[in-house]
Structure 1
Amino acid sequence: MSEVVQKSKLAKVAAGSMGNLTTEQKNEALLLMADALVTESAAIIAANAKDLQRGRELGTSASLLDRLMLNESRIAAIAEGLRQIVELPDPVGDTLETFDRPNGLRIHKIRVPLGVIGIIYEARPNVTVDAAGLCLKTGNAVVLRGGSAALHSNEKIVEVLHGALERSAIPADALQLILNADRSSVDEMLKLNGLIDVLIPRGGHSLIQNVVNNASVPVIETGAGVCHTFIDESADLEMAIRIAINAKAQRPSVCNSMETLLVHEAFAEKHLPAIAEAFRAAHVELRGDSGALALVPSMNEAVDSDWGTEYGDYILAVKVVSGLDEALDHIRMYGTMHSECIVTENAANAERFLQEVDAAAVYHNASTRFTDGFEFGFGAEIGISTQKLHARGPMGLPALTSTKYRVYGSGQIRE
């Protein structure tokens, strides 16, 4: 029996008892997990150092190493994320609807756990804790398969969390980590119908598409983020620069960072050099189309592939557009339905942008970096869904539940 099957079976058994746990029992377990992370932070950092060293030897980029790196403050923040989940309402057992039928049947629609959630992700060990906390709070068991880049970090983190769970009412088997870093372990998870109830991929475009295209287990698609900011003709310059710099440079490695800046031609003629200078000061490489290059010749020339690339780095594609129509067309062509922003003082243009752009989150005069579970008040998120079924946008606790109809009768039979 493979590791994937063995651990998924353990999770399936554990999931059978998870629905009986009280909110208090689940919260107590999460607090124990948070405390254990802080207490064992030195051991986690030591394990993380092995991953960082391997990453440097393999030539991993600075932005990816940043995603991978753990220190005391980051571990404390991850632990605080678990404590914040404790403070959030438990959706399991909520009655969403009740109604009576003419034949006397009483029907209640309630929230229930999904069951066993499989999560496939890459080089961010904080996802290990976020996923565990959200899944366990909602009464789900979870099978985690992280990337090889964070293998030592994830193994130590799960070891620490298991130690905490053994002192709680939650069975430790409800949290499983696949240690086999070969792609075959991912391929196996994609076909584990009957053991895994839903898969959630988190990572780059190729990982997500592999899961979406090859899984027979149901998938909640979390999208790659080719996010845009469109600076309209009427935009306030200071606001536009502040939003654009934040959207790109505040943390370029994450999926809600901006990858393409679209600038109205009239605004660009007046202000693109100043915008470019602000990005240079933020150490961002600019790749411009012909219109941008004409105004700022020091930019690198963009190629066709730049418009659809999620850089995850200090690189930004810049395009000068004739107006809102061209901006909308460009986003329709290259956007990934994640997060899109318009900076404008024109209320009609803002409303049209918000209405017509097909994305999980659309912004008027605010950075795309806010597409995040914490910023939306959901607590730590399991991912940002870019699909349209079940859940969309930052996925907090309710997105990790399904529904069940409880039907109460007094002997009714169907004629």
Structure 2
Amino acid sequence: MTIRTDTVDDVVGVCAARAQAAASTLATAEDGAIDDALRTMAALLHSTRADLVAANEEDLAAALAAGVSPALQDRLRLDATRLDAMATELRTLADVPHTPRDRVVEERGDGLTLLERRLPVGVIGANYEARPNVTVDVASQFLKSRNAGVLRTGSAALRSAQALLEHVIAPALAEAGLDPDAIQLVPSAAREAAYALVRLPDLIPLVILRGSGDSTRDLGREAARHGVRTLAHADGGGVLYVHATADDKAVEELITASVDRLGVCNRLNLLLLDRSVYEARLPAVRELLSGLGIAVSLPPHAHPRGYEWALDADRPATVTIDTADGPKDAARIANEDTSGLAASIATEDAAVAAEFINAYTGAGVFWNATTRLLDGVKLLGLPETGINLDRVPGPRGPVSFRDLYLRQHVVVPAGRLP
């Protein structure tokens, strides 16, 4: 149904009201209905492929005409391979057992039982980059967690997102007996729509924020002013520290695996070579990166050490190289100079690895493994809504449907579970 309103605030408000009205059908749905909808979404990604690709080609043509960088074009592309991968993830998610609503915490000595109950939030918002697959990722996580949602994507991917909603998400909900209004897509390309999304605490109490650092942080501040909670994914950039004991072949494999895609947050961004082997290792590292089509930024740098190249439209295929004085110093650099997304150490010394792992405080830390693993599907076997880097209690790292709930304490007489 076409939304006819006068302002962007009105457009988002109508979407939120529709999602709220439909939320109850998800909260009370049988597990099987939820999973049937996910499997139908996977099937529709195949049967409506021509329509989806046609819409995406319009987005790509407009992006090319606007001079969008190759990295951003890569994010925007929705081809057969990616559609197949999206369908596989949906089927995998459908097969994941639902988390029980109630968990017994304690059988108390006073004849009472303490339960912890999981409740849906109700309606969750999501603002994310021009990346069509995220529309399905987020919608599926909301569905599995029994939350309705209001989605807002970057203008460059709006046609693709609308096609996914029209041909995949809404029909799948309807076929499963669920209200298709439960997942809404803001039909406006205006940037102001993102701000409208975080100003509705009574309708949308939680918003997932993804995208470039500055704009996402500004949205987070706006949400706080209006009493809306956020799970923010504003910054990225993986770190790899190469210790003196690192195996040469392992280092080559780690670097290669870490730059397989350049427009993603968990790719290699900062490469730290131990100072004791910097001069010896640098030539081989530079040759390897050059062969992979990656430029390097060597010290002294004209930019912050943790500058995220994935967000640089002019130089996305770049890695910063610097030195570190041992594993604790490398962890300090990763903690202080980068987003805290993920860091990896290459070493054959378990004691050295432990020093680095115990000193790093970011969302994910890896030993002889690539930071590209910090991803919902690769790490948890589940699509993600984003990677939360907040340094407060709550979901951190890849956020999945298991994190999108409210906790309620329930006390009942012993032996009389509701």
TM-score, normalized by length of structure 2?
0.91
Residue 37 (str. 1) matches residue 41 (str. 2): no
Indicate if the aligned counterparts of 2:272 and 2:322 stay in contact, CA closer than 8 A: yes
Residue 318 (str. 1) matches residue 309 (str. 2): no
**2:377 aligned counterpart, secondary structure:** coil
Paired residue for 2:412? 408
Paired residue for 2:359? 356
Paired residue for 1:221? 232
Indicate if the aligned counterparts of 2:332 and 2:360 stay in contact, CA closer than 8 A: no
Equivalent of 2:342 in 339, 344, 347 = 339
Residue 79 (structure 1) shift: 1.4
Output the CA distance in 2 between the equivalents of 1:390 and 1:307: 25
**2:409 aligned counterpart, secondary structure:** strand
Write out aligned runs for 1:65-84 (5 A). Answer: 65-84=73-92
Output the CA distance in 2 between the equivalents of 1:257 and 1:46: 29
Output the CA distance in 2 between the equivalents of 1:406 and 1:266: 58
Residue 169 (structure 1) shift: 2.0
Residue 305 (str. 1) matches residue 304 (str. 2): yes
Which residues of structure 2 form unaligned runs of 5+? none
Residue 289 (structure 1) shift: 0.5
Equivalenced residue count is: 397
**Residue 307 and residue 360 in structure 1: after superposition, are their counterparts in 2 closer, same or farther (change >3 A)?**
closer
Write out aligned runs for 1:359-370 (5 A). Answer: 359-370=362-373
* Deviating more after overlay: 337-346 vs 320-329: 320-329
Output the CA distance in 2 between the equivalents of 1:279 and 1:224: 23
Write out aligned runs for 1:275-294 (5 A). Answer: 275-290=285-300
* Deviating more after overlay: 89-98 vs 183-192: 89-98
Residue 20 (str. 1) matches residue 28 (str. 2): yes
- The amino acid across from 1:330 in the alignment is I
**2:365 aligned counterpart, secondary structure:** strand
Paired residue for 1:372? 375
TM-superposition CA deviations, 1:233-277 (whole Å, max 9, x none): 111111112102221x21111111111101012222212101110
Output the CA distance in 2 between the equivalents of 1:157 and 1:272: 46
Residue 101 (structure 1) shift: 6.1
Indicate if the aligned counterparts of 1:91 and 1:138 stay in contact, CA closer than 8 A: no
TM-superposition CA deviations, 1:113-138 (whole Å, max 9, x none): 22111000011110000111111011
Indicate if the aligned counterparts of 1:122 and 1:146 stay in contact, CA closer than 8 A: yes
Output the CA distance in 1 between the equivalents of 2:42 and 2:280: 51
- The amino acid across from 2:303 in the alignment is D
TM-superposition CA deviations, 1:68-104 (whole Å, max 9, x none): 10112211211111111101121251425243362x4
Indicate if the aligned counterparts of 1:92 and 1:139 stay in contact, CA closer than 8 A: no
| Identity percentage of aligned residues | 29
Output the CA distance in 2 between the equivalents of 1:3 and 1:99: 49
Equivalent of 1:250 in 235, 257, 260 = 260
Equivalent of 1:262 in 245, 269, 272 = 272
**Residue 14 and residue 380 in structure 1: after superposition, are their counterparts in 2 closer, same or farther (change >3 A)?**
same
Paired residue for 2:143? 136
Which residues of structure 1 form unaligned runs of 5+? 291-301, 411-415
TM-superposition CA deviations, 1:23-72 (whole Å, max 9, x none): 10101111111111211011000000111011111111101101110112
Residue 175 (structure 1) shift: 0.5
Equivalent of 2:119 in 112, 133, 137 = 112
Paired residue for 1:184? 192
Residue 223 (structure 1) shift: 4.0
